[in-house]
């Protein structure tokens, strides 16, 4: 079982917080700065177990990335959790329709984030 998590967020600070939290729990973190970068990383790393992505990013946002994944990665879209400051019901519903497995509001609580990651990746904590 892969322990690679793709973090897609334009905020260097947020990526750093996620990297620290996930690496401390034994996950390998791959970072992307927007949706287009995220798609490229998903194509390059076929064993990514899960994606955490922001909504609002330059070039391509998280929801647009989610909606394009089936065309770019037919048959192998990993579980995705949206991690954002946004909370509008229409955005959450759009993410669900695009296949998102969860929605976590920033600032995140590390223990809740790790519980979601463990559940969606089938991992049982630190490696």
User: How big is the chain, counted in residues?
Assistant: 127
Average pLDDT over residues 97-108: 91
Provide the pLDDT for residue 124: 65
Question: What are 16-40's pLDDT values in tens digits?
Answer: 999 999 999 999 999 999 999 999 9
pLDDT, one tens digit per residue, over 67-83 is 998 887 777 789 999 99
Q: Which CATH superfamily is domain 4-121 in?
A: Response regulator (3.40.50.2300)
Going through 17-124 in order, the beta strands assigned E by DSSP cover 28-32, 48-53, 80-84, 102-105
Mention every residue, 6+ apart, whose C-beta is less than 8 A from residue 105.
84, 85, 86, 87
């Amino acid at each position: 079982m892969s322990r690679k998590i793709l973090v897609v967020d334009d905020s260097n600070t947020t990526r750093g917080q996620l990297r620290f939290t996930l690496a401390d729990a034994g996950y390998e973190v791959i970072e992307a700065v927007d949706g287009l970068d995220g798609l490229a990383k998903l194509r390059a790393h076929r064993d990514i177990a899960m994606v955490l992505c922001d909504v609002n990013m330059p070039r391509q946002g998280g929801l647009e990335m989610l909606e394009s994944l089936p065309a770019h990665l037919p048959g192998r879209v990993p579980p995705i959790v949206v991690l954002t400051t946004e909370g509008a019901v229409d955005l959450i519903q759009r993410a669900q329709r695009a296949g998102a497995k969860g929605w976590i509001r920033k600032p995140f609580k590390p223990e809740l984030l790790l519980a979601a990651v463990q559940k969606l990746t089938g991992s049982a904590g630190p490696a």
